[in-house]
Structure 1
Amino acid sequence: MNLRASAVRLAGLASKWSYGDLSGRDGAAATATAMATEGLVHAVLALGAEVRDWRMDERIDRPPLLVYRAEFNGIGLGLYTGREAARDHCLDLARAEGATALAWVTEADEDTDELHDAAQASCTGYAVSPVEVAEAYDPDADES
């Protein structure tokens, strides 16, 4: 929305409504009404611009939104706002398959948590990975 154009349009309407027909009206009262209306229009639009700018700044300064993807051998099982919820999903499924000695392992250089079965000395195939949620589409962003 172009606030400047809106301000000019609304101020013009206020002027027309107040100044347009002074016949049979007190000219001083009409002038005062028009000036007050124009002032309010400009004040509200200026405040709206400040709020919009504040929201834009807030969006820029906000840390990225992360969700956690529960998966089995690369197949998505669900997205969760917390890592623990995604881990619980994987644990329930692994236990339903009969796994009992389960432990989460996170490599130092990776963010993905892998669920290991100590009894089998192997990875169960279940994992939890953080995924950054984009606020808007970016055609130049990495598609990974």
Structure 2
Amino acid sequence: MNGPDHYREAERLAVRAHHFTYGDGGDPATGAALAAEALVHATLALAAATALSVPARSAPARATNREHLAWQAAAGIPDPTAAPAAEEDVQADITVYRASNESIVCGWYTTPEAARAHCVTLLRRDSPDSVLNWVEDEEDDVAELFATSSDGEEAATGYVVWGVTVEAAYDAEADE
């Protein structure tokens, strides 16, 4: 067993010890024995972790040592030898969609369809029989909801969905 294996075994045994001592296991003697065994594994894990942090070992050597990498994985530390994130993994700007009626914000959504659905649902409460039509201004990423009444009159409803780009990172040069 290596250090990370001892650590995981100590965790596993500690859970079982708790079950026998305090849980449904109902056998404190078994719980105490499991706790003692967990303590041995925890001590061995600590010794291994301490040995890995000895300053005499260089950082490059630690970075390629399988046991050291296993410790990092057990601790949730990213692998320093892993390939850099692909360009498509880099966080990009996103567009969110604001649904509003006049100046009242109804909600923010990640798709224009969800924002439009919210507006339509709200409008249908007051005008269930109107024929609805979205008029889009693609240049400004805005869509306005129009309703046609039973007598054929079309009118703006005041419901608007517009896209807002949220920047992934601050750009100091953009302020100038």
The alignment's TM-score, normalised by the length of structure 2, stands at: 0.48
Could you tell me how far apart the structure 1 residues matched to 2:86 and 2:106 are?
34
- Is the CA contact (8 Å cut-off) linking 2:92 and 2:168 kept in structure 1? no
Q: Which residue of 1 aligns with 2:61?
A: 40
Letter in 2 for 1:79: W
Quote the offset at 1:141 in angstroms.
Answer: 4.4
Q: Which residue of 2 aligns with 1:117?
A: 147
Q: Percent of aligned positions with the same letter in both sequences?
A: 31
SS in 2 for 1:54: coil
- Is the CA contact (8 Å cut-off) linking 2:95 and 2:164 kept in structure 1? yes
SS in 1 for 2:133: strand
Q: Deviations over 1:105-143 (max 9, x none)?
A: 11353311110012242110101111212223445547x
SS in 1 for 2:141: coil
Could you tell me how far apart the structure 2 residues matched to 1:57 and 1:92 are?
36
Could you tell me how far apart the structure 1 residues matched to 2:104 and 2:174 are?
23
Could you tell me how far apart the structure 2 residues matched to 1:14 and 1:139 are?
40
Q: Deviations over 1:55-74 (max 9, x none)?
A: 78732xx5421221111113
Runs of 4+ aligned structure 1 residues displaced above 6 Å come to none
The two structures, once aligned, show a CA RMSD in angstroms of: 3.4
SS in 2 for 1:91: helix
Q: Which residue of 2 aligns with 1:85?
A: 114
SS in 1 for 2:55: helix
SS in 1 for 2:85: helix
Quote the offset at 1:41 in angstroms.
Answer: 1.9
1:21-40 aligned within 5 A = 34=57, 39-40=60-61
Specify which structure has the bigger relative contact order, considering alpha-carbon pairs within 8 angstroms and separated by 6 or more residues: 1
Q: Which residue of 2 aligns with 1:26?
A: none
Change (3 A) 1:141 1:96: farther
Matched, 1:98 2:123: no
Q: Deviations over 1:67-88 (max 9, x none)?
A: 2111111321101112111111
Q: Which residue of 1 aligns with 2:89?
A: 58
Change (3 A) 1:13 1:57: farther
The alignment's TM-score, normalised by the length of structure 1, stands at: 0.57
Quote the offset at 1:48 in angstroms.
Answer: 1.9
SS in 2 for 1:110: coil
Runs of 5+ unmatched residues, structure 1 = 1-10, 16-33
